[in-house]
Chains A and B, each alone.
Chain A
Amino acid sequence: MNQSTPRHFVSEEPFDPYSVEKLSKNQESLYLASQWRLMWWKLKKHRLALISGFILLLFYLVAALAEWFAPYDLHTRTRFIHAPPQAIHLFHEGKFIGPFVYGYNFKLDMNTLKREFSPDKNKIQPIRFFCSGDSYRFWGLLESRFHFVCPSDETLKYDPGIDSLNPTPTYSFMSKPQAGELFLLGTDRLGRDLLSRIIYGSRISLTIGLVGIAVSFFLGIVIGGLAGYFGGWVDALVQRLIEVLRSFPEIPLWMALSAVLPVTWSPLLIFLGITIILALLDWTGLARAVRSKLMALREEDYCTAAQLMGAKPGRIIGRHLLPGFMSHLIASASLSIPGMILGETALSFLGLGLRPPITSWGVLLNEAQNINVVALYPWLMLPVVPVIVIILAFNFFGDGLRDAADPYKN
């Protein structure tokens, strides 16, 4: 059988001319995706940026719920002065107890007058979770005693058992005044828990970057926008101003400005003042970016069209021009947050920035100012760890965000 195949095949089915133009489900979602969605997709591929973003979220969560996360209140003072960090144990002499810490043995060295704490293996203090501890006002409003972690309210006294015939050790409870303590990162010179203070301090240190960047963002967009859109003498003036500001070394200028803040101001006002000072020098970079972008964009046809329709400059800049590169601006702004956090830390460290009772990481580090601390109480330098982590995280996240916001980069 040799049936020849038809030389020409024509499909009988009705032909839909639009079928070739139809996008597959995937294509459709790609082409119709908003700019922000595209950014998110690109950011998702950037592993390091994603992890950094997660860490940042975590830090801000802890800062927001500082009262719950901190085992002690910010100002709780105990009799343990300059106590070293305690380690968390799970087993005591091979026996599982659950997370606990050993209490301190306190001794005053009569030669050096140094307080010496050492873990006392006989004091077993189980850590409590979801418990009630120091009372506080949540965000200054709600009175509560709830904490995620608290020091134990009893000390298990370990008794090796005098009766040699009965080798099983017995545990007995100590009375209430002997309640345990939990200083995972040690205590400072007033016997305050460092971990709690770092957690509370994150609130100030982390918001100062955000508030500062908001102020500098606003300044940068308005000033850079005016310079870029109008050009001419406005532009020249702004350019000179930026040049002058940039030729100041930052920290001496910050120092001078924060020395201006009156001592009589309330801590909150000082906080705002410092933030604004930090922002006052930071907007220049953003203003430059806005300016150069606007210079290019204002020649576009859609801008001319808006002008012809009688839109005012404010509307053209805000409604038509800025959204075009907003994502890019936000990305580069996120890169200047770490500078502000470091700036606040440095100023407070020098005693020119925030002052107690306001607690920020810089204020905490202020106590680590002399060489004795490094030699005797090195744990007082621990607040630097969150500073480093948060700055690295902001840097990596900002880098990733900037790459993701760049439409010409794959």
Chain B
Amino acid sequence: MLRYSIRRLLTMIPTLIAISVIVFVIIQLPPGDYLESHIATMQAQGESIDQKKIAFLREQYGLDQPMWKQYLDWAFGFMQGDLGYSFEYDMPVNDVIGDRMFLTILISVVTIVFTWLIAFPIGIYSATHQYSWGDYGLTFVGFIGLATPNFLLALVMLYFANVYFGTSIGGLMDPRFIDEPMSGEKLFSILEHLWIPVIVIGTSGTAAMIRRLRANLLDELGKQYVTTGKAKGLPPGKLLRKYPLRMALNFFVADIGNLLPSIISGAEVTAVVLSLPTTGPLLIASLQSQDMYLAGSFLMFLAILTVLGMLVSDLLLAVLDPRIRLQGSISK
């Protein structure tokens, strides 16, 4: 197990390096840099520009360095926790990101738990009652969830939550709590706002998961050991719990890897609509204003989050399924 974990951890390193290169290339791709677009705006406003100051800023941020040098500075800084400097906010990226990252993680985790809680029973029901009306109905609802664009669902739910429950529009808490320290009331307000993004982001993931769980469980249910169990006279509930369900559970854990990218994607778009204080709205703004270090840090963080999620799911899977960790240790 230990060997497998180490191997798995080591393979993450090249992946992360590759991701960081891709991220860096992407944020460098737009022609010009932040200073150039900044100078253009200043000139448009008729303000004079001090060439010396520009040169100083350019040097300060290393914008005059060759590309590979900039990349190395950025990558090493990133590893030491220095995320660079946000031009637009005029402060270190660390401060801008602050607890936005934390909230993104919080929403993602709650969404995953929500997805599981919903998808698991429904998937089992659909598989054990294949082709029943319940199965058709639930599958259909799942499909609708899959096909409805997240952002629109968010908008509609926001409206109805406001009309029927009086929840304040947008944000993750009532405006009056924003700068207050944590309290019971504030927590309640957060919970009151949290369920909308969770449901909105969760729907598409839930639908996909129900479909996959159903297919997997159906495969298992058709196998001979199930027939044997039935022939032996095992009660259906016990038979289901003891064997096929455990097999399907493996896959359930493995699915985190699939689920996470889609949840984070969904969270970004939904956050823009709901104006949640997460990474989504800032990421878009920073991409549009070429605030490269901020955008880069966000992209990198989201990618790391996904990679970590996959790592967790792989490790859990190895705990559950001996075949995986044994295969891992036998080097071919």
Tell me if A371 and B265 are in contact (CB < 8 A).
Answer: no
Q: Does B317 contact A (CB under 8 A)?
A: no
Tell me, rounded to whole Å, the shortest Cβ–Cβ distance linking A259 to chain B: 4
8 Å CB interface, A359-390 against B: 365, 368-371, 373-375, 381, 384, 387-388
Q: Does B328 contact A (CB under 8 A)?
A: no
A56-64, A176-184, A244-252 - the one binding chain B:
A244-252
Interface majority SS (helix, strand, loop, mixed), chain B: helix
* The residue from A243, A352, A368 contacting B152, defined by CB atoms under 8 A apart: A368
Question: B44 contacts which chain A residues (CB < 8 A)?
Answer: none
Tell me if A244 and B147 are in contact (CB < 8 A).
Answer: no
Tell me if A247 and B159 are in contact (CB < 8 A).
Answer: no
- Given the known A-B contacts A240-B18, A243-B15, A338-B147, are A256 and B159 also in contact in the complex, defined by CB atoms under 8 Å? no
- Given the known A-B contacts A248-B19, A256-B299, A395-B147, are A384 and B265 also in contact in the complex, defined by CB atoms under 8 Å? no
8 Å CB interface, B256-289 against A: 260-262, 264-266, 268-269, 272-273, 283-284, 287-288
Question: A346 contacts which chain B residues (CB < 8 A)?
Answer: 149-151, 269
Residue of B nearest to A361 (CB): B149
Residue of B nearest to A264 (CB): B31
Question: B262 contacts which chain A residues (CB < 8 A)?
Answer: 249-250
Tell me if A387 and B147 are in contact (CB < 8 A).
Answer: yes
Tell me, rounded to whole Å, the shortest Cβ–Cβ distance linking A260 to chain B: 4
A247 to B298, CA, bound (A): 14
Tell me if A259 and B30 are in contact (CB < 8 A).
Answer: yes
Question: A371 contacts which chain B residues (CB < 8 A)?
Answer: 155, 158-159, 162, 169
Residue of B nearest to A347 (CB): B269
6 A-B pairs with least C-beta separation: A251-B265, A259-B287, A391-B147, A249-B264, A374-B159, A260-B29
Question: A369 contacts which chain B residues (CB < 8 A)?
Answer: 155, 273
Q: Does A253 contact B (CB under 8 A)?
A: yes
**Contact residues of A with B, CB < 8 Å?**
240-241, 243-244, 246-253, 255-257, 259-260, 262, 338, 342, 345-346, 349-350, 352, 365, 368-371, 373-375, 381, 384, 387-388, 391-392, 395
Interface majority SS (helix, strand, loop, mixed), chain A: helix
* The residue from A246, A257, A345, A374 contacting B149, defined by CB atoms under 8 A apart: A345
Tell me, rounded to whole Å, the shortest Cβ–Cβ distance linking A262 to chain B: 7
Tell me if A252 and B283 are in contact (CB < 8 A).
Answer: yes
Tell me if A374 and B283 are in contact (CB < 8 A).
Answer: no
Residue of B nearest to A391 (CB): B147
Tell me, rounded to whole Å, the shortest Cβ–Cβ distance linking B299 to chain A: 6
Contact indicator per residue, chain B 275-315, by CB within 8 Å of chain A (1) or not (0): 00000000110011000000100110011001100100000
Tell me, rounded to whole Å, the shortest Cβ–Cβ distance linking A367 to chain B: 12
Q: Does B156 contact A (CB under 8 A)?
A: yes
Question: A350 contacts which chain B residues (CB < 8 A)?
Answer: 151, 269, 272, 284
A241 to B158, CA, bound (A): 39
A214 to B227, CA, bound (A): 44
- Given the known A-B contacts A248-B306, A256-B287, are A391 and B146 also in contact in the complex, defined by CB atoms under 8 Å? yes
8 Å CB interface, B311-327 against A: none
A350 to B269, CA, bound (A): 8
* The residue from B18, B162, B269 contacting A251, defined by CB atoms under 8 A apart: B269
Tell me if A262 and B149 are in contact (CB < 8 A).
Answer: no
- Given the known A-B contacts A244-B19, A349-B149, A368-B152, are A255 and B159 also in contact in the complex, defined by CB atoms under 8 Å? no
Q: Does B71 contact A (CB under 8 A)?
A: no
Query: Given A247-B19, A346-B150, 11 other A-B contacts at CB below 8 A?
Result: A247-B307, A249-B261, A249-B262, A251-B269, A252-B302, A338-B147, A342-B149, A345-B149, A371-B162, A374-B156, A375-B159
A370 to B152, CA, bound (A): 10
* A-B residue pairs in contact (CB < 8 Å), sample of 8: A244-B15, A247-B15, A247-B306, A249-B268, A251-B266, A253-B26, A257-B26, A388-B144
Residue of B nearest to A381 (CB): B152
Q: Does B190 contact A (CB under 8 A)?
A: no
**Contact residues of B with A, CB < 8 Å?**
14-15, 18-19, 22-23, 26-27, 29-31, 143-144, 146-152, 155-156, 158-159, 162, 169, 260-262, 264-266, 268-269, 272-273, 283-284, 287-288, 295, 298-299, 302-303, 306-307, 310
Tell me if A256 and B169 are in contact (CB < 8 A).
Answer: no
A373 to B159, CA, bound (A): 10
Most chain B CB within 10 A, of A252, A260, A395, is at: A252
- Given the known A-B contacts A365-B152, A387-B149, are A255 and B15 also in contact in the complex, defined by CB atoms under 8 Å? no
Residue of B nearest to A396 (CB): B143
Residue of B nearest to A246 (CB): B261
Tell me if A260 and B265 are in contact (CB < 8 A).
Answer: no
Tell me, rounded to whole Å, the shortest Cβ–Cβ distance linking B67 to chain A: 16
* The residue from A243, A262, A338 contacting B31, defined by CB atoms under 8 A apart: A262
Question: B29 contacts which chain A residues (CB < 8 A)?
Answer: 260
Question: B273 contacts which chain A residues (CB < 8 A)?
Answer: 369
- Given the known A-B contacts A244-B19, A262-B31, A346-B269, are A368 and B299 also in contact in the complex, defined by CB atoms under 8 Å? no
Question: A252 contacts which chain B residues (CB < 8 A)?
Answer: 264-265, 268, 283, 298-299, 302
A369 to B261, CA, bound (A): 24
* The residue from A249, A349, A368 contacting B303, defined by CB atoms under 8 A apart: A249
- Given the known A-B contacts A252-B302, A346-B150, A392-B147, are A260 and B30 also in contact in the complex, defined by CB atoms under 8 Å? yes
Question: A349 contacts which chain B residues (CB < 8 A)?
Answer: 149, 151, 269
Tell me if A352 and B284 are in contact (CB < 8 A).
Answer: yes
Residue of A nearest to B21 (CB): A244
* The residue from A255, A262, A384 contacting B284, defined by CB atoms under 8 A apart: A255
A352 to B287, CA, bound (A): 10
Residue of B nearest to A389 (CB): B147
A391 to B149, CA, bound (A): 10
Tell me if A244 and B22 are in contact (CB < 8 A).
Answer: yes
Tell me if B265 and A388 are in contact (CB < 8 A).
Answer: no
Tell me if A247 and B149 are in contact (CB < 8 A).
Answer: no
A256 to B287, CA, bound (A): 6
Question: A373 contacts which chain B residues (CB < 8 A)?
Answer: 155
A107 to B15, CA, bound (A): 62
Question: B149 contacts which chain A residues (CB < 8 A)?
Answer: 342, 345-346, 349, 365, 384, 387
Question: B266 contacts which chain A residues (CB < 8 A)?
Answer: 251
Question: A387 contacts which chain B residues (CB < 8 A)?
Answer: 147, 149
A369 to B284, CA, bound (A): 15
Residue of B nearest to A366 (CB): B151
Question: A241 contacts which chain B residues (CB < 8 A)?
Answer: 18
Tell me if B261 and A247 are in contact (CB < 8 A).
Answer: yes
* The residue from A342, A345, A375, A392 contacting B143, defined by CB atoms under 8 A apart: A392
Tell me if B152 and A384 are in contact (CB < 8 A).
Answer: yes
Question: B303 contacts which chain A residues (CB < 8 A)?
Answer: 247-249
